[in-house]
Structure 1
C-alpha cells in the first residue's frame, strides 16, 4: 500500500471490511444452507468487538455431495487495498466425525512456508482472528463443534499477492486472509505495519542476527548488496520507521540497520518516526544548521535554508565538499537509538542517493552507547 501527498483525511472516508470478515460471511451463508436452510442474503455476522454487520452474497450454491459454497465481494471502503473488489469464496464440505473444523487454502489463498508467523508452516494463510470468526459463525450455540472442512479461495489471489509482502514472509501461492477487528480503516496502513512486525517475527524465527529496515527499493537493494543478507533479513518499513523500531525494541535482534534516501534519513534525524510527507516536510532551517555543524560557512547555510528539497541541500554541500551526511546519519542514529533503548541491539544508519550510492553511514554501535 502506498500513499500520496494528497492522502485524504481518514476521518472523512468510508470504512470497509477485511478479507476475514468477507470469508466469515460467506462461510455463515454456506453453513445455513448446508444444514438445510435457504442461503441468507444478506447474511449477518458478528465482528470480534460484538458489532453485527450484514453482507450481500455475490453467488452461492450446493456441491452435490452435501456441501455448500458462497461468495462475497470484498468492499474495502475508501482504502486503496489491493483486494478491494476481490471475490472471496468459501466452500464447506462434511468432514470425518471427530475432526472438527479444519481449514484449507483454495485457489488464490497462500500457504505458510516459513516459521515465525502466527500460523504454523504448512497451514493455509488464514490468520487466527478470521479462523476464530469462522468457527463462531459455524457454531449454533449448543457447544458442539461441527465436523466440516472450510476451503477459502480468492479469485485472482495469486496475482494480487504479488503486490503484497507475502512472498517475503514465506506465504506462497496467494493472499493471506487477514483481519483483527474485521473492519478496514482507510489509510490506517495497519496491514503494512502488521507485515513489518511479521517480517521481524520471521527473521527471528529463522535465527537471523541482522535485519535491515529500508524506506524504499533503492535503499533496500543497496543495503542488501552491501551486507550480503538473505531476503528474509530485509524489512520493507517504508515510512514507518517508528513502527519497526518500536517492535524491535520489544522483539530484538542482535543488529538493526535503518537504510534510506537523503530526505527520509534527514527527517528521521529531525525526530520524525513517520517519514511520510503528510507528517510534514524536513525543516530546511534545521538542515542549514546541520550544514553549519559540518563546516558550511554562513552564506552556504543561508542558501540551504532557502532550498525547497533535501536533495538540493545535499547537492550544495557536496559541491562545497561539506560532509552533511555524516552529521545527519549521526543524528538519525541518536533518534533511532532512543527508540531501541534497552533492546541490546547494535544499530547502524545508512544513507543512499537516488542511484543507490552510499552517501554516509553511522555505526554499527550498541544502542546503550552514546552516538
Structure 2
C-alpha cells in the first residue's frame, strides 16, 4: 500500500503582500521588473514568488503575486495580492485598495479606521522597505496600498463582516506559511470573535457547532451577528479562551450528538477525536435500550426527553469546568440542543 503524499503547504496573504511590495519597490527605485522575488519569513524561511502582475505610472509602481495556499481549502487561494508603492513624506504607511477591508470595530489587532492589514504582515513589508532602502541608499519613506481584486466577494465567505471588517478581506499571517487543514486558523478566528465582542461591550455571546444551531440560537436570544462565535468542533479552543477573556453569559448550541460529547466531558467534538458513550447515554436517560443505538438522534427517538437530559448534563460540565474565569468573575452558561431540522430538543440554563 502506497504512502499518501504529504499535503503541500502554502503562503499567507501577508507573505504575498510583502513579496509584491519588494517587486514593486525594486521597480519604483530604478530597477528592472523582476520575474520573481524572495522574502524572509518571520521564522527564517526564504520562499520565492513569481511576479504575476506589473504596472506603473507617474511616481508609483505596483506588482501582484497570486496566492498559493497549497493544499489548504483557503478562500483566498488563487487571489491576486497587489502592492502599489509610492514615496511618502515619513516612514511606511498602509492603505487599503480594492478588496481589502477597513476595520470598523475595536478588539482586532489593528484599531478602527485602519486597513485590515495585520501587524505581522505590516512588519514584513516594513522590513522589505528598510532592506531595499539600505541597499539603494534611499530614505525608507513609502506608502503601500494593498489591493485584492474580487476581495469584497471573498470576504463574504469569511468572518470579516461579523468581526466588523468592511469592504474586503484581511491581510493575515503570523508565520507567512499556510499549513493545510490547520486547526489554528479556525481557533484564532474564534478568539478574534471573543475579542470583538468584549471590545464592543457585549455581555452575551454564543458558540454553536453549525449553521442550523447558530440560526436557532440567534433567533432564540435575539443576538447580533458579532455575538455569534463559529465554534464548530472546537469547544475547547473557545472555552479556554473565554476562561482568560470572560464574557458574562455564554450560550452553547448544537446537535444532540455534539452536545452529548460535551455532556460526557469532551471539548474536541470532531468525530475522529471523540465518540458518544451510548451506555452512559442510556444511564443518563434511564432507558437501557439506548445503549444499542447507532446515533444520538436514534437514541433521542427512543427517549423523547433525552435532549433535555443532555442539555442539563452539558450545563453541569460547563459550569463546573468553565463557570469561573481566571480573574474570578462568573460565566453563566446555557445550553440549547437541536435536531437536524432545527427543532429544539432541550434547553438548560
Q: TM-score, normalised by structure 1?
A: 0.87
Superposition pairs for residues 80-229 of structure 1, below 5 Å?
80-95=73-88, 97-98=89-90, 100-140=91-131, 142=134, 146-229=140-223
How far apart are the structure 2 equivalents of 1:188 and 1:161?
20
How far apart are the structure 1 equivalents of 2:212 and 2:346?
15
Superposition pairs for residues 28-107 of structure 1, below 5 Å?
28-63=22-57, 65-95=58-88, 97-98=89-90, 100-107=91-98
- The root-mean-square deviation of aligned C-alpha atoms, in Å, is 2.0
Q: Are 1:329 and 2:311 matched, yes or no?
A: yes
| Structure 1 residue 144 displacement after superposition | 8.0
Partner of 1:356: 342
Distance 1:218 1:327, change over 3 A: same
| Structure 1 residue 61 displacement after superposition | 2.9
How far apart are the structure 1 equivalents of 2:155 and 2:238?
22
Residues 195-222 of structure 1, C-alpha deviation per residue, up to 9 Å, x if partnerless? 1111111110111111111111211111
Partner of 1:274: 268
| Structure 1 residue 339 displacement after superposition | 4.5
Answer whether contact 1:246 1:339 (CA < 8 A) is retained.
Answer: no
How far apart are the structure 1 equivalents of 2:185 and 2:138?
34
Question: What residue ranges of structure 2 are gaps of 5+ in the alignment?
Answer: none
Residues 83-125 of structure 1, C-alpha deviation per residue, up to 9 Å, x if partnerless? 1111111111122x22x21111111111111111111111111
Give the total of aligned pairs. Answer: 340
Answer whether contact 1:325 1:351 (CA < 8 A) is retained.
Answer: yes
More moved, 258-267 vs 145-154 = 145-154
| Structure 1 residue 129 displacement after superposition | 0.7
Distance 1:176 1:339, change over 3 A: farther
Q: Are 1:308 and 2:294 matched, yes or no?
A: yes
Question: What residue ranges of structure 1 are gaps of 5+ in the alignment?
Answer: 1-7, 364-371
| Structure 1 residue 181 displacement after superposition | 0.6
How far apart are the structure 2 equivalents of 1:189 and 1:241?
12
Answer whether contact 2:309 2:346 (CA < 8 A) is retained.
Answer: no
More moved, 330-339 vs 103-112 = 330-339
Partner of 1:249: 243
Residues 112-166 of structure 1, C-alpha deviation per residue, up to 9 Å, x if partnerless? 1111111111111111110111101111274986221111111211111111111
Q: TM-score, normalised by structure 2?
A: 0.92
- Residue 21 of structure 2 aligns to a residue whose secondary structure is helix
How far apart are the structure 2 equivalents of 1:145 and 1:202?
37
